[in-house]
Each structure stands twice: as C-alpha cells, then as structure tokens.
Structure 1
C-alpha cells in the first residue's frame, strides 16, 4: 500500500503528456491517475499533479525550441536523484536542460543543480552527498 499523500504540488502544462512524462521519468514518480485534463504522479507521500492549460489559454502560450526559462515565478520544484550526471542525460533526452555542472552548489549536504523542463519551467535536482 503506497504511503498516504502528505504534500503535493500542481503544475500547469500546455503539453500534458510531454510534461507529465518528463517529471515521471526525472523524479521517478509513477503515474497514479491519468485523465484528459490532468495526470497525477505520486511516490513516497508526495504527489505532483500536472494539469492541462485550458485550450483557450494554451493557444496564447508560445513555447520556443529550445524553451525559454520561466524564471519569473516564486516557486521551484525540487527532486532528489541518485546521480546529477545521469539525471542530466535523461533531462536532455526528454526535452529539458540542466545548467552546466560547474554551476552546481552544496546545500544541506547535497549537490544541487537547476534546470528547466520542456516548457521552460525551472526545477532543481539534488544529489545526496556520498
């Protein structure tokens, strides 16, 4: 039986399948629910719900290639990974981008590096110190 959800985040996406697939793979969050308007990803008491931007709004959103980072938001999702290097390869394969490794820093005993998803949303990955 999975752990009960004790925290969650909601992320709006123009391309629901692309963004939910990205975070499912990067954060190792299995899909627990998939409906036409949202996908729920969940593990270890945390749930990320990716919600489709309504079509009338989605047509006004331009996603460039590569995406422009959306850094003008006060919230950043953070995920813990086993290896920043391995995660960076996966991020690139799935349409996102990590900052160069030399821009990483130490925080609370973890090596930390920011990146962005295929729609430009900034996130952070943390690798626990070994």
Structure 2
C-alpha cells in the first residue's frame, strides 16, 4: 500500500494463524509482516494488526 492506510484496526486472537487466514481470504488481504505474536495484513482500504492473546490468558 503506498502511503498510510485509509483505516486500521487492532484485533486480539486466540488462534493468530486461523484468524489472519480468515481475513486474508474474506477480504483478499496480503501479509505485510508476521511473527509468532502478531501479523499485519492489508487490503487497498484497511490495515489490520492481529495480535495473539498470550496462552496463559487465552486458556482462562
């Protein structure tokens, strides 16, 4: 995406890979960056930061 995103959101997820894949498929998004704790994905209109909930919190 050239320049800043038109809109953005931060989403917390129990299953980072699954939720990222869902949004990538649903909105034809692509991965900008990824590691074990977060993924940044974008389309022409929005950028999402999906952050993994720590396992000790997610299990409760």
C-alpha displacement at 1:6, in angstroms?
3.0
In structure 2, C-alpha distance between the alignment counterparts of 1:44 and 1:50, rounded to whole Å: 17
Would you say how many aligned residue pairs link Structure 1 and Structure 2? Answer: 59
1:20 corresponds to:
20
8 Å contact from structure 1 (residues 14, 58) kept in 2: yes
RMSD over aligned CA atoms reads 1.2
Q: TM-score, normalised by structure 2?
A: 0.86
Asked if 1:3 is matched to 2:8, the reply is no
Name segments (4+ residues, structure 1) moved above 3 Å: none
Partner of 2:43: 43
State which structure, 1 or 2, has the greater radius of gyration over its C-alpha atoms.
1
Alignment partner, residue 55 of structure 1: 55
Q: What are the ranges of 5 or more consecutive residues in structure 1 without an aligned counterpart?
A: 61-130
| TM-score, with length taken from structure 1 | 0.43
Distance across 2 between alignment mates of 1:49 and 1:16 = 10
